[in-house]
Amino acid sequence: IQQVGSGDLWELQTEEYHSADNAWHMGMGYDLLDAVISGPIDLPEGYSIYMNYWLYCNMPDSDGDGDNYLEDYFRIEVSTDGVNWTMLCYDWGDRATDGGSALDDWAHRTTGFLSTGGGDIAIDLSDYAGQTVQIRFTGITDDNDDGGTGLGIYIDDVELRGETFEHDVLVQPLFIPFPNTVNRVIPATATFVNNGGSDETGAGAIWFIGTTVIPFNPFQLDLVSGEELTLFLDNNLEDGQDGWVPTDPGDFNVYARITLANDENQDNNITPTVPVTIRPVGEYEFGFDDRIAEYTTSRFGVGEGPITHFELPDDFISFDLDTLRVVWNGDLVDPTDFNVHVFAGGDEPGAEIWSGTFTADPAATYPYFQGIYVGDVGDLQGLTTDFWVWYEVTSADGFPHIIFSSRDMETDLSYPMGEGHHFEYDGTSVTDGNADWMIRAFGYGTLDVAERVPGVVPASYSLASAYPNPFNPSTTLRFDVARAGKVSLVAYNVMGREVARIVDRELSPGRYNARWNAKGLASGVYFIRMEADGFSQVRKVMLMK
């Protein structure tokens, strides 16, 4: 037994069990985050491995207030080192399954639940074949019972079942890193595995942006037994870019699928659906999570909280931080204050740049982000290096609880995006967070060179109208370059004085988007002049603060 929260109520008892003559039991209590952990288990190679168990879960306060958020429940997790844990699924007593409800009697559980990962899913440990693991059941309760009473959680007859298939291909969860902006390549990938005993030819691999179907390159995969193959999600094979280059802003659901005519195990042929927001040109959102929230909470004491280390891409000159975004768990009952701090970068948080106190609203919790506007904070504009963002708990009851994404990047080597970015902080020491917080940073970037629009080779030079116009404080300038050579975009005020040199360098032929940030300039009319190889054109813009 390992105590990881208030209370330590797990016990091996002999009064209630499915098979003689004992079962693990966690009694009821408030604010529990309590786990029972298996010993080391050696999982054999070459098997698809699934877990099943018997459950009697008499926790009637799973949703006592009827708000459709879980309040008392448990999760099943796996670890390869006993320190970093990855959630497989979560569950509660009166969930309807083929094995029946476990609220009032024993029920056989062969599946768990992930609201954002496909709903009812097999408890699958196949990715850990050939490794030594531990499994834990973690009971979680809130700070009330909503008038209900219960006996708690009983777990018995846990079984790991290994299956071998002669023909079994699968696709692992997608890797889609941030930022996601129109015309900026996203090096997103999918990994395909032949988990069967036979070599396979002609397995079909496709991916989806909403209802749009896109074949992988190659579309038909030949995989020898045990082989893994990682491919880019590439929506335009003609643009010379490895990855997905979005052409339109918006919200999109993205997933991948592999098909094989004689596949004996089709439960692993489709990835979880990943919600991806594509931002307009010049807008950037940074984060280090897989976008699929884990229905659970991390709990901190007063003066503690999650902290995320943000690093700017190499092609950024500066970044204007506009909005800090975070997802709070739906167990929040009352409006609760918290502090937000932004620190200078480095291996650990540097000097504090800014801080503020804000209120978490119970009506704006998971699945919604809370946005904290900082676009009017001068010290957070024009950032040129990495920075840290810390959410500090100030309430004695530990609220609000932060949501984190569904996989632990430290142990899931197929998805390493969060490693080195998410930590816990108490104002003095940074420690490993063992989770990937749903913490984002949104703003406007000034890049080292103008962003090139893939696949466009103009026949002539041109400078399009700025967008937006009027603007505050940034606008995007689209321009066409017909021949390789020196190109300049210079901003002038109404007196003809140069106020900004937006672009001034050698560029190859193509269409480009450049972002001009007029922070620090007075409201009024400005003129943008483009010059290249004897060509000259001027556009008028209006800065309105």
Instruction: Point out the least confidently predicted range of 7-21, 401-415, 512-526.
Output: 401-415
Q: Which residue has the tokens 């699929």?
A: 292
Burial class (CB in 10 A: 0-12, 13-18, 19+), 373: exposed
What's the alpha-carbon Rg for the chain, to the nearest Å? 27
Give how far the C-alpha of residue 210 lies from the chain's centroid of Cα atoms, to the nearest Å.
18
- Measured CA to CA, the distance from residue 171 to residue 124 in angstroms comes to 14
DSSP symbols for 267-289: GGSBPPPEEEEEBPTTEEEEE-S
pLDDT at residue 140, as a whole number = 87
Give CA–CA dist 151/66, Å, rounded: 21
pLDDT reported for residue 101: 87
The answer to whether residues 221 and 199 touch, using CB atoms and an 8 Å cutoff, is no
**Three-state SS at 128:** helix
pLDDT at 64 over 60: yes
pLDDT: which is higher, 361 or 2: 361
Strands (E), 181-304: 189-194, 200-209, 212-223, 228-232, 250-259, 274-278, 283-287
Beta pairing partners, 543: 471, 524
Q: Are the CB atoms for 169 and 227 separated by under 8 Å?
A: no
| Strand 485-493 to 524-532 pairing | antiparallel
Residues in the chain: 545
Placement of tokens 């005993």 in the chain: 197
- Res 454: pLDDT: 73
Torsion of CA 515, 521, 527, 532, to 10 degrees: -50
Q: Which residues pair with 181 in a beta bridge?
A: 279
Q: Has residue 235 got a pLDDT over 80?
A: yes
Q: How far is CA 43 from the centre of its chain?
A: 29
Beta bridge partners of 112: 121
| pLDDT tens profile 182-213 | 888 999 999 999 989 999 999 999 999 999 99
Q: Please, are residues 418 and 428 in contact by the beta-carbon 8 Å criterion?
A: no
* Cβ 544 vs Cβ 472: under 8 Å: yes
Q: Which residue has the higher pLDDT, 109 or 84?
A: 109
pTM: 0.74
pLDDT of residue 92 exceeding 60, the answer is: yes
* Per-residue pLDDT, 216: 97
Closest Cα to residue 4, out of 34, 24, 38, 31? Answer: 34
**What is residue 520's three-state secondary structure?**
coil
Residue 7 has pLDDT above 70, yes or no: no
Q: Which of 20-34, 98-112, 396-410 has the lowest mean pLDDT?
A: 396-410
Please give the share of the chain, as a percent, with pLDDT higher than 90: 60
More confident residue, 108 or 447: 108
DSSP string, 360-424: E-GGG-TTSEEEEE-TT-GGGSSB-S-EEEEEEE-STT-PSPBPBBSS-TTT-TT--TTTTTEEE
pLDDT at 332 over 60: yes
pLDDT reading at 421 higher than 60: yes
Question: Residue 358: is its pLDDT beyond 90?
Answer: yes
Q: What angle do CA 451, 454, 455 make, to 5 degrees?
A: 150
Among 37-46, 141-150, 260-269, 361-370, which stretch is predicted with the lowest mean pLDDT? 141-150
Once rounded to an integer, what is the mean pLDDT over residues 103-112? 92
Amino acid 410: pLDDT: 41
Identify whether the C-beta of residue 469 lies closer than 8 Å to the C-beta of residue 542.
yes
* Residue 96 confidence (pLDDT): 76
Confidence category of residue 370, pLDDT binned at 50, 70, 90: very high
What does the DSSP 8-state code read for residue 484?
S
Averaged pLDDT, 30-37: 87
Question: What mean pLDDT do residues 170-177 have?
Answer: 92
From the list 328, 246, 255, the residue with the least C-alpha distance to 285 is 246
pLDDT at 186: 94
Give the tokens for residue 461: 């030079």
pLDDT higher than 80, residue 417:
no
Q: How confident is the model at residue 405 (pLDDT cuts 50, 70, 90)?
A: confident
pLDDT value at 77 more than 60? yes
Residue 2 has a pLDDT of 55
Q: How large is the average pLDDT for residues 225-237?
A: 93
pLDDT at residue 413 in the model: 39
DSSP count for the chain of H helices, then E strands: 0, 38
pLDDT of residue 125: 93
CA atoms within 13 A on the CB side of 46: 4
Q: Which two tokens stand for residue 177?
A: 């890193």
Domains and CATH numbers, the chain: 2-162 (2.60.120.200), 169-281 (2.60.40.10), 290-445 (2.60.120), 450-543 (2.60.40.1930)
Site of tokens 């042929």: 269
- Which H or E run includes 343? strand 336-344
Residue type, 204: G
DSSP label at residue 172: P
Average pLDDT for 433-437: 79
**Most confidently predicted of 81-95, 452-466, 526-540:** 526-540
* pLDDT tens per residue, range 268-325: 899 989 999 999 888 999 999 888 876 556 678 999 999 999 999 888 878 999 999 9
**Is 80 exceeded by the pLDDT of residue 127?**
yes
486 φ/ψ angles, rounded to the nearest 5 degrees: -75, 130
Say how many C-beta atoms besides its own lie within 10 A of residue 220's C-beta.
Answer: 11
Q: What is the pLDDT of residues 34-62, one digit of tens each?
A: 899 999 999 998 888 999 999 999 887 77
What is the helix (H) or strand (E) element at residue 481, kind and residue range?
strand 474-481
The DSSP 8-state label assigned to residue 149 in this structure reads -
Q: Is the pLDDT of residue 80 over 50?
A: yes
Q: What is the mean pLDDT of residues 135-142?
A: 90
Residue 241: band (very low, low, confident or very high) from pLDDT cuts 50, 70, 90 = confident
Q: For CA atoms 214, 276, 185, 408, give the dihedral sign.
A: negative
The proportion of the chain whose per-residue pLDDT surpasses 70, expressed as a percent, equals: 92
| Per-residue pLDDT at 68 | 63
